[in-house]
Amino acid sequence: MMRALWRENMFNHGRWEGPIIDQHMHLDRNNRYLDAVSEFINSGGTGINLVHKPNFSNLPSTISDYQSAYDDTIEMAREIRERFGIKVSVILGPHPVSWEKQIHTIGLQESTSLHLQAVKLAIQYISIGEAVCLGEVGRPHYPVSLETWDAANNLLLEIMKLAAEAKISIQLHVEDDGEKTYSDLAKLCDKANLPRHLAIRHYAPANISTQFTHGLSVTVSVGKGSISKIVESLPNCNSYWGMETDFLDDKNRPGAVLGPKTIPKRTNQLIEKLSESGYSEDKIYEIIENIHSNWPQILYPKKEISI
């Protein structure tokens, strides 16, 4: 009875008024920052995964540089919680593009060493409850030399092993090569003993079928046309999935990749599409509650802070 009443309160004339989480958002003090968060909340959003934003124009050269950047991300999360009272989960890690760019300036060995130090530092923050996930890590999404590609995969395997040892999830930044990308990643997960569901493909296409994703979790980039593709592949999905904007908060690229209003908007579009496709209200409720509440709690659990 209580659950039925709570479910009824989540829907208001067909619109969802329950949890709505953007599972991958960047913010920048020098751009929209709190205004972007306000726009998200005013559109119906209730929580964000705040992902460390790399500075490609001023790449970190020491582990201290990474620590300063991580600390700033954590501090932004605190400021947002205090200002708006929403849930903010922090995701920390060194971006694979930073690694690839630094190969050309400091060499492969030193770039790889710095990258792994940054991964281990992020894991330390996760272990004390300051962050919930390692990311975004992965491999370059653009063509590179065969030597660099092999090194990227060896590095990613090592990162996955560290994540498996720490029993944490990772958000993956990878190339878009269809099902082959997922197949490759699944093999790396298995080799590293990292459960596939703890490897979360960020900026994922809208095909969420398990046959396509090979059991990896995904956060779909919910641009135009994505909802129809999600609903089409949903019957064949047995994996965790969610929604993201990958909002960059970049003054040189306003609105990139998707704007702060997107996830609330797409959530209600998904509800409409599911209803049109014959899903019952109970089933729709279950789906939305899973992607915005139940599954994030599984993928991004906060560890207890050690005393």
| pLDDT, average across residues 225-251 | 96
Angle, helix 96-106 to helix 146-166, in steps of 10 degrees:
130
CA–CA gap between residue 111 and residue 126 (Å, rounded): 23
Residue 127 contacts residue 166 (beta carbons within 8 Å): yes
CB atoms within 10 A of CB 281: 14
Query: pLDDT at position 1, please?
Result: 42
CA 119 → CA 55, 225, 241, 277, distances in Å? Answer: 16, 35, 24, 43
Residue range 10-40, pLDDT digits in tens = 777 668 889 999 999 999 999 999 999 999 9
Domain boundaries, the chain: 19-299
According to CATH, the topology of domain 19-299 is TIM Barrel (3.20.20)
Which one-letter amino acid corresponds to residue 306? S
More confident residue, 202 or 256: 202
Query: pLDDT at position 307, please?
Result: 36
Residue 163 contacts residue 198 (beta carbons within 8 Å): yes
H-run or E-run covering 281:
helix 281-289
Query: pLDDT at position 14, please?
Result: 67
CA–CA gap between residue 242 and residue 221 (Å, rounded): 9
Residue 33 contacts residue 254 (beta carbons within 8 Å): no
Residue 221 contacts residue 203 (beta carbons within 8 Å): yes
Instruction: Look at 7-16, 40-49, 76-85, 90-99 and tell me which has the smallest mean pLDDT.
Output: 7-16
- For the chain, percent of residues with pLDDT exceeding 90: 89
Residue 292's contacts (CB-CB under 8 Å, 6 or more residues apart) are 18, 19, 20, 21, 46, 242, 267
Confidence category of residue 2, pLDDT binned at 50, 70, 90? very low
CA 230 → CA 29, 107, 148, 199, distances in Å? Answer: 33, 42, 34, 19
Q: Is the pTM of this model over 0.85?
A: yes
| pLDDT, average across residues 256-280 | 96
Confidence category of residue 47, pLDDT binned at 50, 70, 90? very high
Token readout for 30 is 């020098």
